[in-house]
Structure formats: C-alpha cells, structure tokens
Amino acid sequence: MRSLWMLVAGFLFACMGVLVKLGAAYFSSTELVFYRSLFGVWMTYLVIRYYRLPVTTPHWRVHCWRGISGLISLLMFFYCITQLPLATAISLNYTWPLFLALFSTLILKEHIRWPLVCTVLVGFIGVVLLLRPSLPEDHWVAGLLGMASGFFAAIAYINVKQLGELGESEWQVVFYFTLISTLGTGVWLLFTAFSPVNWDGLLLLLGTGVTATLAQLAMTRAYHQGATMVVTSLGYSTVLFASLWGILLWNEVLPPVAWLGMGLIVLGGTLSGILSIKQAPAVAPK
C-alpha cells in the first residue's frame, strides 16, 4: 500500500503540468521555473530548520553539477509543456530511464545486459512514433527539447546517486537544487524582464509550487517505504493523468500512432527502471 504514494505523486505532477500550461498565458517558461524553484527552496529550508538538519555540505561541487543538470532539464521540460500537448511533453521527459540505462553502461562502466538494451530500443522506437508523424513541423524543436530534458534528467539522476553515496540527505539535495535553480533563473530574468503578477497569475504560481513540492514529498515517501519495482512502474501514472487532463481541458485528441509511441516509452522506461534496480536503487531526479 505504501507504494501507492507514487500514484499520489503522479497525479500531483500531472496537476503541476496543467498549472504550468495555464501559467504560460501570464509568464515565460523561465519565469515559471523561477517561481517554482523559489517556492521549493523556501519550503525545504523551513523543513530543514524545523528538524534541525544540517544545511552546510562539503560536497558542493556535486550539488552544483546536480543543480545545473536539473535546471537545464526543468527549463526544457517547462518550455515543452507550454508548446506541446501535455501528455506528449511529459512522455518525452520520461525518457530519462532510457538515457540512464545508456549512461550506466557508457559512464558508470556497468556490464552490458542485452535485456536492458532491448528495453531501451523499445522506448526509443516509441519516441520516434511519438515525434513522427504525430507532431506538426513547427513543433519539432519543442519535441526535441522535451527529449533533451529527459537526457539531462538522467544526468541529474547520476548526480543524485553520487550524493546519496556521499551521505547527503534528500532534503539537502532538493534544497541545493532549488537554490541553484532560483539563482540561475533569477539572474537571467534580471537581464531580461519579469512579467507583472496579477491575482490569477499569483494563484497559478502558488498552485505550481504547492503541487510540485507535495509531489516531490509523495514520491520520496514512495521510494523510501514502498517496493521499488512497483514504485518505478507506478511513476508512469503521470502520463495517464496528464492524458486525461489534456483531453478534459484542451480536447487534446492524439492520433493512434502517438498513443502507441507513448505506450512504448512507458513500457521501455518501466522495464529499464526495473532492470536497473539490481545495479542501483531508484531515486527520482527532480
């Protein structure tokens, strides 16, 4: 039953995607990342102070790499959400287990396992079906950025794994990630422009921050207390919830080939995550 916390996380992540898509009418994707990160850094800092957890760390270099890779992934992901059907954007971002399987062999020098190779191929066949011919030509850049967000999310996963091995708590990891994301996007926006915040926009920003933070907590609890294989599989419930929201709110009717592609991404990603469990514990990157 504890694994079912991942269903809660999946629903909340899909709700965050809805709020990001709605927020695009008021803010740029960079601003949405900034406010989402600003909310997250204050929430995690208050929790750290309340439980008197350590804030300082000797492993700031790894935190910086994790923060930069996570920030790049988040910026691409939010932009993709604002440009593509919600389920498509989330499916492309959820290619990160496929990239992680490749990195485990190429970077971490783990032995090649052919069942894992086959699951990766299944997932990337799904990507091809999802991108072509279901996306119009003017959305190809957004589609490629969505897949790139999964690439950088996989790098963030490796950094999270390294931090876990160094003894850093999940609160420290989330705190420094949101801090780096807030500072990075904040500096960028100082040299560009901040959009005015009205009442409707403020509610959307608060909703994005709340759903993202609660989803992170639910996901962390699921991985800590639930069966890892079950949690890894339930993580793809976000795609299902996003599909339902897209149909209900925007009448996003995708062609059959797109649904087939999404199904193959989910299948490949789930099997890749399960097969990778024997090598390393599953830790969510964002």
Structure-token match 């990507």, residue found = 127
Overall average pLDDT of the 276-285 stretch: 50
Phi first, then psi, for residue 163 (nearest 5°) are -65, -35
CA 143 to chain centroid: 15
C-alpha triplet 277, 103, 226: angle, nearest 5°: 25
Q: Tell me whether residue 91 is in a domain.
A: yes
Q: Tell me whether residue 283 is in a domain.
A: no
Is 281 strand, coil or helix? coil
How many structural domains is the chain composed of? 1
Q: Report the range of poorest mean pLDDT among 50-54, 96-100, 115-119.
A: 115-119
Q: Tell me whether residue 282 is in a domain.
A: no
Could you tell me the pTM of the whole model?
0.87
Q: Tell me whether residue 214 is in a domain.
A: yes
Quick one: pLDDT band at residue 84, thresholds 50, 70, 90? very high
Tally the residues of the chain.
Answer: 286
Condensed to tens digits (0 to 9), the pLDDT of residues 34-64 reads 999 999 899 989 989 998 988 889 999 999 9
Enclosing domain of residue 189: 2-276
Q: Tell me whether residue 135 is in a domain.
A: yes
Instruction: Give the residue from 273, 67, 57 showing the smallest Cα distance to 184.
Output: 67
Q: Tell me whether residue 284 is in a domain.
A: no
Overall average pLDDT of the 207-218 stretch: 87
Condensed to tens digits (0 to 9), the pLDDT of residues 127-152 reads 888 876 556 767 888 999 999 999 99
Q: Tell me whether residue 286 is in a domain.
A: no
Instruction: Give the residue from 85, 98, 88 showing the smallest Cα distance to 124.
Output: 98
